[in-house]
Structure 1
């Protein structure tokens, strides 16, 4: 029996069971209905019930909890796992080059709260398609995009199921630097699982990584074409940099809410936005299109780690969303 260790506990989030549980409860308790979505289209709605009935799919950030923990709570409070028998967790690969998707060989994923059991039958079923590869345990443990969701997943399952032994099993999928065609291919593979009401999905993604250290300094002046700022650029004021970052992120949020995989990819290409989970999001959007459903993501929270005012500053954006399938 191999267990993926909680390798980022004690640094990216608390390794103390009691402290971590209390933090998660605190962030979740601050999200109360009614909740008003924030996208251009979805903002016309208001959510009177949490979790949102049928909201089996969420997008949530994966930074250190001191940065993104509160924002992630908005996705997890929306998440409906009442009928779940397994949880698909899709996250990007930050350190290991991968052009397709990889599966875990581990039997369990550890968290300070308890362990989550990997669905070995489903992972083998996916591997047997010939499209996936295995990731080593060291690659698995180096990656934070999957791990940062495990405590939240455990917490939400503990609220819906009587004991750890009855929790839905986990299907972790690391998504590489996929092309549009590859995203469609994996979308087709995952579409039947997405259609199954006993499957819930978590997509791990931060949004804009802005600043010289991220090699992304896109800035859109109010009355001119977009430019890339440099270390020698004077601090712009119309608008401030942080408002330009927000504009770019909301262009991507609105593209995601259209449900069009092409619109999502086109907006990313047009803005160059450094959405690190662009590929996991793209795979699930492609799966939604295969189902030809009216399912759409609705974003409910947007935050940034800081508000940039000059090129030397940096920030990471966090957005939370759900989709009813």
Structure 2
């Protein structure tokens, strides 16, 4: 079966503007307005939401704004997301060699792809990626904050957190490698109840407690893998923003929670 070498956008014009100029302007606006949260020393990993930009773009921007000082350093971005449409046992990397957005194409990192696809629990399949929005909506932010970078998109399905951590470990690299976990928090609770639930989830993440479930975060599998790896590498999570759709663009009867969290090695950075 012939595989397309390029993955075309599935949610341009739905989750974010399809017109490159409007998209560029919207992302630039979010980044300019991003309020610095806790100061973060060179984040190694970020957890960011993946709803339509009017709902979660401002929250995501608080993490991406932290990357601009490292736009020359970061060369490779591992992007992990849940699978919203296709059941995957384990994890899936795409056969596609690049992901297209209205801002241009982003190449899939060949070396990382070869390393990942040989690991236990990882399959090569374009299907989980074809209609999946959770990685796609991150790309215009990366294209707006980094200079030259490749990506490794990983759709995390029914996977053991230790297996996810093993993939991260194999591709950990140095300062040139950034990990992006695409995940929303609680789904469709009333506003106050969602705030309460999401705060509890954040507390668990701060404790590097890798037992999140899908009710707490749709990307729980990927986050748990990161938390195991973060513990091993002594990374500290910093909450940059925590809001929900009732704060941004939705009504408050049934909301979706969004957080931006950056993980950094706070003990080991040199002050130049």
Q: Over aligned residues, Cα RMSD in angstroms?
A: 1.9
Match of 1:13 among 16, 24, 27: 16
Whether the 8 Å contact between 1:103 and 1:127 is mirrored in structure 2 is: yes
TM-score, normalised relative to structure 2:
0.88
Residue 179 of structure 2 corresponds to which residue in structure 1?
201
Matched, 1:275 2:213: no
Selected match of 1:109 from 94, 99, 103: 99
C-alpha contact (below 8 Å) 1:109/1:115 kept by paired residues: yes
Distance 1:189 1:304 in 2: 30
In the alignment, what sits opposite 1:63?
51
Partner of 1:302: helix, strand, or coil? Answer: strand
Q: Aligned partners of 1:286 and 1:110: how far apart in 2?
A: 32
Between the aligned partners of 2:169 and 2:151, the Cα distance in structure 1 is 17
For 1:133, what is the secondary structure of its paired residue? Answer: strand
- Among 237, 247, 250, which residue is 2:196 paired with? 247
Paired position in structure 1 for 2:32: 29
Question: Normalising by structure 1, what TM-score?
Answer: 0.74
C-alpha distance in 1 between matches for 2:104 and 2:9: 10
**Structure-2 change in CA distance of 1:313 and 1:32 (3 Å):** closer
Tell me the equivalent position of 2:241: 301
Structure 2: tracts of 5 or more residues without a match: 266-272
| 2:192 aligned with 1:187 | no
Whether 2:113 is the aligned partner of 1:123: answer yes
Partner Cα distance (1:81, 1:283) in 2: 25
SS at match of 1:303: strand
In the alignment, which residue of structure 1 is the partner of 2:226? 284
Q: Contact (CA 8 Å) 2:112, 2:171: kept in 1 or not?
A: no
SS at the partner of 2:171? Answer: helix
Tell me if the contact between 2:74 and 2:178 (Cα under 8 Å) persists in the aligned partners. yes
Aligned equivalents of 2:128 and 2:201: distance in 1? Answer: 29
Q: Which residue is equivalent to 2:253?
A: 313
Residue aligning to 1:219: none
Contact kept, 8 Å, 1:117 with 1:170, in 2: the verdict is yes
Q: Which has the larger radius of gyration?
A: 1
Matching residue of 2:128: 139
| Paired residues of 1:2 and 1:108 also in contact (CA < 8 A) | yes
| Aligned mates of 2:128, 2:83 — CA distance in 1 | 9
